[in-house]
Amino acid sequence: MARVLIYSHDSFGLGHIRRCRTIAHALAEAYPKLKVLIVSGSPIIGSFDFKTRVDFVRVPSIIKLRNGDYVPLDQHGSIQEMTTLRSSLIDDAALHFAPDFVIVDKEPLGLRGELEGTLERLKARGARLILGLRDVMDEPDALAKEWARKRVAPALEEIYDDIWIYGLKEIYDPLQGIELSPRVRAKTRYTGYLRRTRPSAPAVPIVPDLNERILITPGGGGDGEALIGWLLDTYEVHAPSLPPALIVLGPFMRVEARAAFEARAAALSLPCEVFEPRMEHLMADCCAVASMGGYNTFCEILSFDKRGLIVPRRTPRFEQTIRAEAAQRLGLSRMLPEPDEHTRGDPAVMASALRALPSQAPPSAHPIPGMLDGLENIVAWSKPWLN
């Protein structure tokens, strides 16, 4: 059996593990004798379903604070001790699994450099090393400083065989402003976005009229309190004139905030869930989507051709704002700027956007060639090493 190792550092949220799981499933489905192992720090990776021949190893979790600092999830021990432990566990799992093909998600050398030695050893064994990047990373100046601090350039030059960007250059070039050699540029290819489909496992019905409701989701929820607060403020004032909604808060939202939002939603008779591991079912069946516009949610909006209202965050990265502005410019979704941390959003502004959402043009009204070809390209480009 050919073997693929996928590394997902997962400092916080659902984005990395959901993207890696999607790629793993596509590869396992395309190659019947392939085994895939995901190495992840996600504390909820076990809540997801995995296809046959796709498995995972979980290493201790580290979370990223809004100021950019990292701390162990359980707050015990130093960040250096935890990084050393993670690095040892990752190295042991990777070398015993002996992959032919390695895909690293977003962090070229792993979280705080924990992957560097493992990558060098795997390369010496002949493994093909791929760096997979989101369609948008951060503002060019911020990314250039971050990568200089993390010594990324030598890794791109000497360690990686290919760099795959999970998006389209027509929408955004995440490496603009980064000084890269012609050799590194030649390794870089755009896959297109990763198309999502309904899971084979049936959905558990939450509401009978989901096709009439706006799905409200802040993704993992750890940074989604501003969005949910603004939306609930709006429904409390304008509910009779607004489309009905279903709220999925996300598993990483603070317990206190979650309880307060659930009580407010109950008072409005708005169904409210904490976590749905098969989010694709809800995305496929809802009328429209109001979200923060993280990578996976954006892929689902495109895949299921949903009218989208995006309220992107600005910190700790500008990624969501860049994506939302590009999507609005191309007619793929609409955007509302997030209020600053000292200002509550205006319910009248949000109400106007929600009323317009069901009649908004869907993404298919502005087609872009190859927009959702990401998984097909990944499968095809992997073929020489996995057949």
From residue 151, give the alpha-carbon distance in Å to each of 37, 110, 119, 148, 176. 27, 12, 15, 5, 18
Same fold, 2-195+372-386 and 210-365: yes
Res. 285: pLDDT tops 70? yes
pLDDT digits (tens, 9 = 90+) for 132-169: 999 999 999 999 999 999 999 999 999 999 999 999 99
Q: Could you read off the pLDDT of 337-366 as tens digits, one per residue?
A: 987 766 679 999 999 999 999 999 999 999
- Of 346, 364, 198, which is closest to residue 283 (Cα–Cα)? 198
Architecture of domain 2-195+372-386: 3-Layer(aba) Sandwich (3.40)
Within 13 Å and on the Cβ side, how many CA atoms surround 72?
15
Q: Identify the pLDDT of residue 80.
A: 86
**CA distances, 13 to each of 42, 63, 310, 351 (Å):** 8, 9, 18, 28
- Which helix (DSSP H) or strand (DSSP E) does residue 123 occupy? helix 116-124
pLDDT computed for residue 10 by the predictor: 80
Which of 3.40.50.150, 3.30.70.1170, 3.40.50.2000, 1.10.10.10 would CATH assign to domain 210-365?
3.40.50.2000
First to last CA, the chain: 9
**pLDDT(75) > 70:** no
Cβ atoms 10, 16 nearer than 8 A: yes
- Please provide the size of the chain in residues: 387
72-77, Cβ contacts within 8 angstroms, sequence gap of 24 or more: 73/43
Q: CB-based contacts of 46: which residues, under 8 Å, 6+ apart?
A: 56, 58
Q: Is the pLDDT of residue 171 over 90?
A: yes
pLDDT, residue 342, reads 65
Give residue 367's pLDDT band: very low, low, confident or very high (50, 70, 90). Answer: very high
Is the confidence at residue 31, as pLDDT, over 90? yes
Residue 308 has pLDDT above 70, yes or no: yes
- Pick the more confident residue, 74 or 44: 44
So where are the chain's domains? 2-195+372-386, 210-365
Indicate the average pLDDT of the chain: 93
pLDDT at 386: 86
Lowest mean pLDDT among 72-81, 196-205, 285-294: 72-81
What mean pLDDT comes out for the span 117-130? 97
Q: What is the reported pTM?
A: 0.94
